[in-house]
Structure 1
Amino acid sequence: MIRTLSGDIQKTELGFTYSHEHIVCRPPYWVEKKEDDLLLDDKEKSLKDVMDFKNMGGSTIVDATAVDYGRDVQSIKYISEQSGVNIILTAGFNKSFLWKAKLPDHLKEAIGDYTTYEDWIESASIDQLTAFVISEVENGMEGTPLKAGQVKFGTGYNSITPLEEKTLRAVARAHHHTKAPMHSHTEAGTMALEQIKLLKEEGVNLNYMSFGHMDRNLDPYIHEQVADTGAYLSFDGISKIKYAPESARIQAILELVSKGYENQILISGDTARKSYYKHYLYGLGLYNIIGNWVPRFINEANQQGFDGETLINKFFIENPAHCFSFKE
C-alpha cells in the first residue's frame, strides 16, 4: 500500500514517479532571510510545471517538504486535484539550522506555544516528537485530514547535531509504529554512513529507507557502502549542473548498476527554487528530467552495453513502487 494525498493506492497504480521534489512551500527560515528564490509561493505556477510533467507521461510526485520547511498541504491538494497527479506528502523534519526560525502560529495549537522550531524540538521528548510524526501519518497534517505517505529526518554538512539525532530517533520510532517508508536529507551527500549507524541502533530495516542527495557526493565507495545495506539511493539533483555535470551523475548511476544495485536507485530533481521552475523564472522545470534527461540516459546506457529503457523503468516505476510502499 502507498499513501498519497488522495488516498491509499496499490503499487501498480503509482506509475512514472519523481521521488524527491518540492511543489509549494514557504520555509520560515528563508522567509525571515528574505530569500525569495527559495519560496515556492504561487500554486498556479507550480501547477503549470506539474502539468508539464503530467503531459509527458508522469503519474506521481513525492513532495519531500517536511513541517519545518513551510509545507502547504492545501495548495498541494489543489494541485493534485487539478492535475490528476498522485502526490505523496512527508512527515518528520529537515535539518537543524532551519529550526532557528519562528514557529508559525497555526502549528502552536498542535504542538505547544513555543517560539521557534528549535525550542520545540529541544523541549519535547523523543516520545513526544514520535507521537507528532505518527499523527501526521495516521490522522493528518496541520489540522487537516490529509495524511503523509513517508517519514523524514535530516542532518547537516559533515555533522549530526544532538537535535538532529533526536529527530532521527523519533522518526525511526514513528516508522516502526506506522510502517511508513523513511527518507533522509543528507546535506551535500554527507553523513549517510553515520545516519545508518544510528538507524541500526533503532532497529530499522534499511530496505525501507531512502537516502537523499546521493549525487551531491559522487563517491562510488560511499554509494556502494550505502547500497550494500539494502537502502535506496536518491539521485535527486538532476538538472543542477552547478553541482556536477549530468555525465558524472550518469556514470555514478551506471557504476552502481554494474555492481548489481539497479533495484535501489531513485531519480528526481529536488526542484526547490523559483529559478529551477519553468513557470516561475524560466528554469528547466519539472519537464527536464522526463523530457530531456531520460532520453539522454537511455542513449548513454545503451552505448555502454546496458538496457537503458529497462533501467529507466526501474528507476522511475518499479523502484519507487517498492520504496514508497508501507512495510507489510
Structure 2
Amino acid sequence: MRFIRTLHGDIHPEELGITYSHEHIVCRPPYWVEQGADDLLLDDKEKSKQDVIDFKNLGGQAIVDATAVDYGRDVIAVKEIAEETGVTIIGTAGFNKSFLWDAKLPQKVKEVVGNYNTYYEWIDSTSINTLADFVIKEIEEGLEGTGIRGGQVKFGTGYNRISPLEEKTLRAVARAHHETKAPMHSHTEAGTMGLEQVELLKSEGVNLEYISFGHMDRNPDPFYHRKMAETGALLSFDGISKIKYAPESTRINCILELVKNGYEDQILISGDTARKSYYKHYDYGLGLENILLKWVPRFIEDANARGFDGEKLIDKFFIENPARCFTFKK
C-alpha cells in the first residue's frame, strides 16, 4: 500500500505533480513572536495565498509545508489555502531545533500535550516514547488535535552540535516513523551535523532511503554531499533564491556534481521561504514563483551546456523524487 498523506486526504504518489519540497506558508513561531521579529512571522493568510496562486499559475501542483509544532504553524489556514487554490499541501509532524524551545508553549498546544510552560520544559520532562506517541497521533489522528493529518515527520539539530534534547526528539521521531511508516525530514542548521544524525538514525534502525535532509546547500561541500548521498537518503537543496548564502552557480555546481556521480534520484529542490521579505505579496520579495519562473530555466540552460539533460533532471527533482520521497510505504 503506497500513498501520500496531504492536508485534504491521502492521494496516489502519481497525483502529486510538480512539488516544492520545503516551504512555510502561514506560521507565527512563538520564539520569534517573543523576540518581536516581525519578518519571520508569516501571519497573513491572504498574502500567503497569493504567493501560492503565483506558484500554481506557473504549473506548480504541490507544496510540502515543513512547519512543525514548535514553529507556530496555522494548520487551519494552510488547509484553507490548499482548498481555495487547489494546490496540494503536505503537513509536518515532529519538531524543529532546540533554540526555539525557550519559547512559551501556546495554549492550543498545552491543550494537547499538557500544562507545561515552555517547549523546553515539555520535551525535557517527557519520555522519548511519549514524545513519539505525540508525533504518531499527529500523523494518524491530526495535527494539534485538528483532525488534519500530517504527511511527514521531522526533527532538527543545531549548528555544529546536537543537544541532548535534539537527540531525544530525533529518537522520538524515528520511532514514530517506524510506527506510522511516514517519510522523515531532517532540519540541519546551516547544513551541518548530517552525518552525525545518520549515525543516530542508524542506531534507531531507520532505513535512510526514507528520509530527506534539509538545507544541504547551506553547506556547499561536494565531498559532504557525496557522503550523505551514499547513505541512500535524499538531499534537499532548499535555499534556492537566497543569494546571501551563496550564488546560484554554487548550488547548481553542487547539484550537478551529485548528478555526475549518479545521485540524481536523491535530489529535492525548494526555497524554504520563511520570511515576509522573501514573499512577493508580503514585502516585494522574489516569492514562491521565483524557482519555477527564473531558477528552473537557468538550471536547464546551465545543465544542458555541460552535457546533461536539464529538462529530464527538472522532472526528477520536482516530480519523480518528491513522489517517491513523500510516500508512506506500508
TM above 0.5: yes
1:270 aligned partner: 272
Q: 1:107 offset after TM fit, Å?
A: 1.1
Say if 2:96 and 2:157, in contact at 8 Å, map to a contact too.
yes
Say if 2:30 and 2:70, in contact at 8 Å, map to a contact too.
yes
Equivalent of residue 59 in structure 2, options 57, 60, 74:
57
Query: Deviations along 1:232-289, whole A, 9 cap, x unmatched?
Result: 0000000000000000000000000000000000000000000000000000000000
Equivalent of residue 17 in structure 1, options 11, 16, 19:
19
Distance 1:38 1:50 in 2: 18
What is the TM-score when the length of structure 1 is the normalising length?
A: 1.00
Matches within 5 A, 1:64-83: 64-83=66-85
Matches within 5 A, 1:17-36: 17-36=19-38
Matches within 5 A, 1:41-190: 41-190=43-192
Q: Does 1:228 pair with 2:230?
A: yes
Q: Which amino acid aligns with 2:228?
A: V
Runs of 4+ residues over 4 Å off in structure 1: none
1:219 aligned partner: 221
Secondary structure of the equivalent of 2:143?
coil
Q: Which amino acid aligns with 1:50?
A: V
Q: 1:326 offset after TM fit, Å?
A: 0.6
Matches within 5 A, 1:192-203: 192-203=194-205
Distance 2:109 2:233 in 1: 32
1:208 aligned partner: 210
Q: Which amino acid aligns with 1:316?
A: F
Distance 1:111 1:143 in 2: 10
Distance 2:145 2:197 in 1: 31
2:243 aligned partner: 241
Q: 1:106 offset after TM fit, Å?
A: 1.0
Q: Which amino acid aligns with 2:249?
A: S
Matches within 5 A, 1:289-300: 289-300=291-302
Secondary structure of the equivalent of 2:104?
coil
Distance 2:145 2:251 in 1: 40
Distance 1:246 1:301 in 2: 13
Q: Does 1:284 pair with 2:286?
A: yes
Distance 2:124 2:172 in 1: 13
Q: Which amino acid aligns with 1:238?
A: I
For structure 2, list consecutive stretches of 5 or more residues without a partner in the other structure: none
Secondary structure of the equivalent of 2:212?
strand
Task: Decide which moves more: 140-149 or 162-171.
Answer: 140-149
Q: Which amino acid aligns with 1:85?
A: V
1:324 aligned partner: 326
Distance 1:161 1:283 in 2: 34
Distance 1:153 1:270 in 2: 16
Q: 1:300 offset after TM fit, Å?
A: 0.2
Task: Decide which moves more: 104-113 or 284-293.
Answer: 104-113
Q: 1:141 offset after TM fit, Å?
A: 1.1
Secondary structure of the equivalent of 1:145?
coil
What is the TM-score when the length of structure 2 is the normalising length?
A: 0.99
Q: Which amino acid aligns with 1:62?
A: V
Distance 1:57 1:174 in 2: 34
Q: 1:110 offset after TM fit, Å?
A: 1.0
Secondary structure of the equivalent of 1:152?
strand
Distance 1:143 1:324 in 2: 22
Distance 2:320 2:258 in 1: 17
Query: Deviations along 1:73-128, whole A, 9 cap, x unmatched?
Result: 00001100110000000000000000000000111121110000000000000011
Say if 2:138 and 2:145, in contact at 8 Å, map to a contact too.
no
Secondary structure of the equivalent of 1:210?
strand
For structure 1, list consecutive stretches of 5 or more residues without a partner in the other structure: none
Q: 1:60 offset after TM fit, Å?
A: 0.2
Distance 1:16 1:133 in 2: 27
Distance 2:90 2:13 in 1: 13
Count of aligned pairs between the two proteins: 328
Say if 2:92 and 2:150, in contact at 8 Å, map to a contact too.
yes
Indicate the RMSD between aligned Cα atoms, in angstroms. 0.4
